[in-house]
Amino acid sequence: MASVRFPPDIQQHLLLKTLSVCDFVMLDLPPSTPAVMTRLAQMPKYASKLEPTVHNVNEIVSILSPSDNILETLQQSIHFGLVKSILSPHSPISGGRRYPLWLVSFWAELSSIRKIQQKWRTAIASLETQIDRNKESGPLRQAFFTLSQIQWTGRLQGFRKGIDLHQLSVYFTREWLTNDHELVMLDALKDDLVIAGKPDESFIENTAFILLLGNAFKDKQGYMDGSCYEWLHQQGDDLAIRDTGKRLLSTIANQDGVHWVAIILDFGRQRLYHGNPYGNCISEEHHAIIDWWTEHHANV
């Protein structure tokens, strides 16, 4: 059985997705029930095999949501068709009333929105701290102004890799950047090169490039005569032959599963540039892979 979604007209009881980030973080969302209360009301007390007794939307959405672990278990029970209605033992005003199953989806949506709001609040607090420390920083102030204009959620437009706008909050903090974040940054780099009038000098490769190159490194013989590596072969040849116009290959790689590093191969000057936020040298593995590939094409 599929999960039960709340009716479309219930969406009006949730936040408008067109709210700006700055407006969104100022809102007081309905809180969840304190964890101590949900611990007293264990999961079996939430599920009922009887039909709902309450259908008034305003009453239903006013019930405070339980803890996330209770929500997760309830969603599983609904998925397998084990319940027909929901009780709310953590709420003293529910009085044993039974609510429609879509209430769980509504609670889950609220829980997700609360988490997004907390991320944006953390991001804005971090940005404000940076502005206080760098009062003359125009880019920081421009970033803050942008948060008063963009929506708190929705798809980020203009990039080949689509992510939700709320994922941008990570850029203002010290949280770990995901593969999706790095792909967006590489897309932004491509746009910068177009603006600078140098769109054809470089290959800008995604975060999988070094991984693919590593597979070829482990299969050297296959790389020499295998059609599955034709794309890598073509790029190496284009970079090695000066009259193609391509001179640089830039990418981002994950080093040791710990952090991201920038790698630029300059075939024209026969140089390897490596950027590590910790100031460390390039890893032996990455160095060996890149040396093998560049030397192979330079000698062809």
Residue pLDDT, tens place only, 147-192: 999 999 999 887 777 789 999 999 998 888 888 898 888 888 888 8
Closest by CA position to 166, among listed 20, 13, 16, 6: 20
Average pLDDT of span 22-32: 88
Length of the chain: 300
Could you tell me if 253 and 214 are in contact, meaning their C-beta atoms sit under 8 angstroms apart? no
- Residue type (1 letter), 2: A
The strand pairing partners of 48, in sequence order, are 85
Between the CA of residue 196 and those of 187, 191, 193, 199, 246, what are the distances in Å?
Answer: 14, 9, 5, 8, 16
Cα–Cα dist 13/39, whole Å: 27
Q: Quick one: angle between helices 209-218 and 230-240, nearest 10?
A: 100
* Residue extents of the structural domains in the chain: 1-175, 179-298
Strands 248-255 and 259-266: antiparallel
At the second CATH level, the architecture of 179-298 is: 2-Layer Sandwich (3.30)
Of residues 159, 61, 165, the one with CA closest to residue 110: 61
Q: In the prediction, which pLDDT does 112 show?
A: 92
Average pLDDT of every residue of the chain = 85
SS3 290: helix
Backbone angles phi, psi at 275, to 5 degrees: -115, 115
pLDDT score, position 3: 54
* Confidence at 267, pLDDT banded by 50, 70, 90: confident
Span of 143-147, 177-181, 193-197, 214-218 with lowest mean pLDDT: 193-197
pLDDT of residue 286: 92
**pLDDT score recorded for residue 255:** 83
Q: Over the stretch 96-117, which tens digit does the pLDDT of each residue have? A: 899 999 999 899 989 999 999 9
Dist. CA 88–CA 53, nearest whole Å: 13
Q: How far apart are the first and last CA of the chain?
A: 59
223 within 8 A of 216, measured Cβ to Cβ: yes
Is pLDDT larger for residue 39 or for residue 264?
264
* Average pLDDT estimate for 122-139: 90
Q: Residue 290 — very low, low, confident or very high, per pLDDT cuts 50/70/90?
A: very high
The answer, yes or no, to whether residue 201 has pLDDT greater than 90, is: no
Partner residues linked to 271 by β-bridges? 266
Alpha carbons 260 and 217: distance in angstroms, whole number: 21
Residue found under tokens 């803890």:
67
Rounded average pLDDT over 23-34: 85
- Please report which confidence band the pLDDT of residue 2 belongs to, taking 50, 70 and 90 as the band edges: very low
| Distance from C-alpha of 79 to C-alpha of 77, rounded to nearest angstrom | 5
pLDDT for 67 beyond 60: yes
What average pLDDT does the segment 118-146 reach? 91
Q: Residue 75 and residue 111: Cα distance in Å, rounded?
A: 13
Q: What is the pTM of this model?
A: 0.78
Asked whether the CA dihedral 71, 72, 73, 79 is positive or negative, the reply is positive
Query: In angstroms, rounded to a whole number, what is the distance separating the alpha carbons of residues 13 and 6?
Result: 11
- pLDDT number for residue 124: 95
Tokens of 220: 């050297």
Q: How many helices (H) and strands (E) does the chain have?
A: 11, 6
The structure tokens listed for 113 are 């929105």
The neighbour count for residue 219, using CB atoms within 10 Å, is 13
